[in-house]
Amino acid sequence: MENILITGGAGFIGSHLTGKLLKEGNRVICVDNFELGRKENLAMYSDNSNLEIIELDVSEVDKFSDLLAEKKIDRIYHLAANSDIQKSARMPGVDFKNTFSTTYSVLEGMRRNGIKKLFFASTSAVYGDKAGVNLTENIGSLSPISYYGGAKLASEAFISSYAYMNEMEVLIFRFPNVIGPNLTHGVIFDFIKKLQNNPKELEILGDGTQCKPYLYVLDLVNAIVEYSHRQKRGVEIYNIGVETATTVTEIADMVCKKLGLKDVKYNYTGGNVGWKGDVPAFQYDLSKIYATGWKPAHNSNQSVQATLDSLEL
């Protein structure tokens, strides 16, 4: 049994990771400021004596470091971040505080307390808009175009330096759009909300051809837990995702079918991006993680459908 701390533990991915780690018999401390995380996501584990939920802003480095010392943490899964990219497009400070500053706080807390084991949730957004380029983990010229991608790349840089200076073992997953049960925002969530307000018409940002891979959250969580125990000194980075992709219009069609709606008029706002900073398509190279034997159980369209199947509408 390990003493594990998850930042953002009440969030979409964090709550699923909490369940997986509890099932394996670990003691899990979930730290969340509950801006995006929800206590209801952890309600099913409330009777588990190995779970502790703490409301704290992870970016407050002294308070967070003191918590690590008090709880005698062995391993940290750092998922706390702003995951609403459209929101940070309007308010860049959100990503500086919730995405980058939380990472600095985690690293500094680890340094002060001699904690060596870290998982970091990164993103395909660190690559930027590189249409037609095969995105391998060691590709050069990383140039994110969103504040979110910039904050994640800055986080990776700080992780690299802290890992070297303090002999840490760090696993980084760069993943695409993650969907599944307890999803609270994103294109599926937006479409459902819009159609519930007006079942006859649907506004679709861009031209609907934006095509992205969607990874099912349980496939991701299983990989996080498995690979975090393969860590070695230094930093190991993996792209993780699916080979297929789904267009925005295909998602709209699937949402309409889930809601039992026919002849919905799609109103496209135009252009090949949904908002400034959006990457309409990318070519993810998964050969590194595939070479280790991992494969997702769901492809992109199956991930979308499984997410819709999990919703009670």
Tens of pLDDT, residue by residue over 142-158, are 999 899 999 999 999 99
Is residue 132 over pLDDT 80?
Answer: no
Among 72, 82, 80, 79, smallest CA distance to 52 is for 72
**pLDDT score, position 275:** 65
Residue 141: partners with Cβ closer than 8 Å, 6 or more residues away = none
How would you list the strands of the sheet with 27-32, edge to edge?
51-55, 27-32, 3-7, 75-78, 117-123, 169-175, 234-239
**pLDDT score, position 272:** 80
**pLDDT score, position 133:** 81
- Choice among 31-40, 83-92, 216-225 with the minimum mean pLDDT: 83-92
In this prediction, residue 231 has a pLDDT band, given cuts at 50, 70 and 90, of: low
In this prediction, residue 229 has a pLDDT band, given cuts at 50, 70 and 90, of: confident
Among 238, 250, 245, 255, smallest CA distance to 294 is for 238
The domain covering 181-212+244-280+298-310 belongs, at the CATH homologous superfamily level, to UDP-galactose 4-epimerase, domain 1 (3.90.25.10)
CB 255: neighbour CB atoms within 10 A?
A: 24
Q: In one letter, which amino acid is 214?
A: Y
Q: Match domain 3-178+213-239 to its CATH number in 3.10.20.30, 3.40.50.720, 1.10.10.10, 3.30.200.20.
A: 3.40.50.720
What pTM did the predictor assign? 0.92
Where along the chain do the CATH 3.90.25.10 domains lie?
Answer: 181-212+244-280+298-310
- Choice among 98-102, 150-154, 229-233 with the minimum mean pLDDT: 229-233
Reply yes or no on whether 148 is catalytic: yes
Is residue 79 over pLDDT 80?
Answer: yes
**pLDDT score, position 282:** 74
- What whole-number distance in Å separates Cα of residue 64 and Cα of residue 68? 6
DSSP the chain: --EEEEETTTSHHHHHHHHHHHHTT-EEEEEE-SSS--GGGGGGGTT-TTEEEEE--TT-HHHHHHHHHHHT-SEEEE--S---HHHHHH-THHHIIIIIIHHHHHHHHHHHHT--EEEEEEEGGGG-S-TT-EE-TT-S-----SHHHHHHHHHHHHHHHHHHHHT-EEEEEEE-EEE-TT--SSHHHHHHHHHHH-TTEEEESTTS--EE-EEEHHHHHHHHHHHHTT--SEEEEEE---S--EEHHHHHHHHHHHHT--SPEEEE--SS-SSTT-----EE--HHHHTTT---SS-HHHHHHHHHHH---
Q: How far is CA 107 from CA 29, 175, 279, 305, in A?
A: 17, 21, 29, 37
In this prediction, residue 301 has a pLDDT band, given cuts at 50, 70 and 90, of: very high
Report the mean per-residue pLDDT for the chain: 92
Residues 119, 237 contacting (CB under 8 angstroms): no
Catalytic residue among 148, 162, 227, 284: 148
In this prediction, residue 271 has a pLDDT band, given cuts at 50, 70 and 90, of: confident
**pLDDT score, position 274:** 73
Where along the chain do the CATH 3.40.50.720 domains lie?
Answer: 3-178+213-239
In this prediction, residue 90 has a pLDDT band, given cuts at 50, 70 and 90, of: confident
Mean pLDDT of 25-33: 96
Mean pLDDT of 225-239: 88
168-196 per-position pLDDT tens digit: 999 999 998 999 998 877 899 899 999 99
